[in-house]
Chain A
Amino acid sequence: AQKVTQAQTEISVVEKEDVTLDCVYETRDTTYYLFWYKQPPSGELVFLIRRNSFDEQNEISGRYSWNFQKSTSSFNFTITASQVVDSAVYFCALFGGTSYGKLTFGQGTILTVHP
């Protein structure tokens, strides 16, 4: 069975603060993929990043960065200098190599960035 845990239900920050969203996963598959999605109030899930289990390099894209650590089964997401437009629900998700691409999502973290 696969499981994704996002321990932070809600985070509230003031604009320009850095914020890290935590994600811990469980899987028995040796090949798997991890994802982060953003869900703004409009409801549509927006893809942010994908990492495979063989690539532990951290990645930076503008104000976003991701830290993948296999040793701790974590895939954390950091927003630097947060902005009001970052306010959304963020989901971490996983699929293992044997599951037809079926995504297992965490419960989500509601991020509110105040001006």
Chain B
Amino acid sequence: DTGVSQDPRHKITKRGQNVTFRCDPISEHNRLYWYRQTLGQGPEFLTYFQNEAQLEKSRLLSDRFSAERPKGSFSTLEIQRTEQGDSAMYLCASSLSFYEQYFGPGTRLTVT
């Protein structure tokens, strides 16, 4: 399978705990995006990387959220001190061009 992969697929955590998600993009893709999707809504943009540089961040990405792409390959999204409002599906997408994003299966986070 050469698509975008995300790990874990599901995460249940208690409020206040830290969580980290990983995204492995399609190998030659230099662009990587994170989105968040809450129940009944469309995905919302969180952040964008071109290679290892984080070029855009949404205001949704509070100071409890941090994303990295250290070598321009995989990316991690960390949420510190999780809150119940963080419960959502976190989607990763990668692309070579701006107009053809390939999405991964997502990580579903439940904060209890």
Contacts and interface: CB of A to CB of B under 8 A. Distances in A.
Contacts of B35: 103
Given A43-B105, A100-B48, A105 B42 contact: yes
Interface residues of B, number: 28
Interface residues of A, number: 25
B5 to A, nearest CB: 11
Contact of A101 (B43, B91, B99, B102): B99
Given A44-B103, A44-B105, A101 B42 contact: no
Nearest to A6: B42
Contacts of B33: 101-103
A50 interface: yes
A9 B76 CA distance: 33
Interface of B (DSSP majority class): strand
Interface in A65-96: 91, 93, 95
B41 A107 contact: yes
A105 B103 contact: no
A52 B100 CA distance: 12
Interface in B37-62: 40-45, 48, 50, 55-56
16 contacts: A33-B99, A37-B103, A43-B105, A44-B103, A45-B43, A45-B103, A91-B42, A101-B31, A101-B99, A102-B56, A103-B35, A103-B43, A103-B45, A103-B101, A106-B42, A107-B40
Given A44-B103, A95-B98, 9 more contacts: A33-B99, A43-B106, A43-B108, A101-B99, A102-B33, A103-B101, A104-B45, A105-B43, A106-B42
Contacts of B97: 101
B105 A108 contact: no
A14 B65 CA distance: 44
Contacts of A105: 42-44
